[in-house]
Amino acid sequence: RKTTTTVAMDFGCITIDPTLKLYLFGTPGQERFGFMWDDIVEGAVGGLVIVDTRRLDDCYAAVDYFEHRQIPFAVAVNAFDGKVEHGLDEVRWALDVSDGVPVIVFDARERGSVRDALLVVLELALARSEG
């Protein structure tokens, strides 16, 4: 009997100020959903790869995707119940991301934590547009 399911896509919108809205599109990290990534990232200013340290293998495809398309991204290690299985340096090493990619801890269930992670991506996008 199957007790879990995978949702194909999430959507959200966050208003930063009256002149700036972030539209958020989320897909599962599994490669079987890779066919929709090109459509979703069209016009994207950045990406956030959410990492469950118990399942690092699920993240390689997303990291490779953003790197190969040169889309600014950050890696957000989801701290379930305030716990992180591996340190940020270990995660950086395991995912083989460059020093220019922020690796942060956040809790996907906490609004403020999600906001802070998205602000990291926004800062990357702004830095890229200015430089």
Q: Is the residue at 78 inside a domain? A: yes
Q: Is the residue at 23 inside a domain? A: yes
Domain limits for position 51: 10-130
Q: d(Cα 114, Cα 72) in Å, to the nearest integer?
A: 17
pLDDT in tens, 69-82: 999 999 999 987 66
The CATH number assigned to the domain holding 18 equals 3.40.50.300
Instruction: Quote the pTM value.
Output: 0.85
Q: Is the residue at 121 inside a domain? A: yes
Number of domains the chain is built from:
1
Q: Is the residue at 92 inside a domain? A: yes
Q: Is the residue at 115 inside a domain? A: yes
* Residue 121 · residue 72 · CB < 8 Å: yes
pLDDT at residue 7 in the model:
65
C-alpha torsion sign, points 33, 27, 41, 69: negative
Q: Is the residue at 100 inside a domain? A: yes
pLDDT at residue 84 in the model:
74
pLDDT in tens, 79-98: 876 677 788 999 999 999 99
Q: Is 130 helix (H, G, I), strand (E, B) or coil?
A: helix
Eight-state DSSP code of residue 86 = S
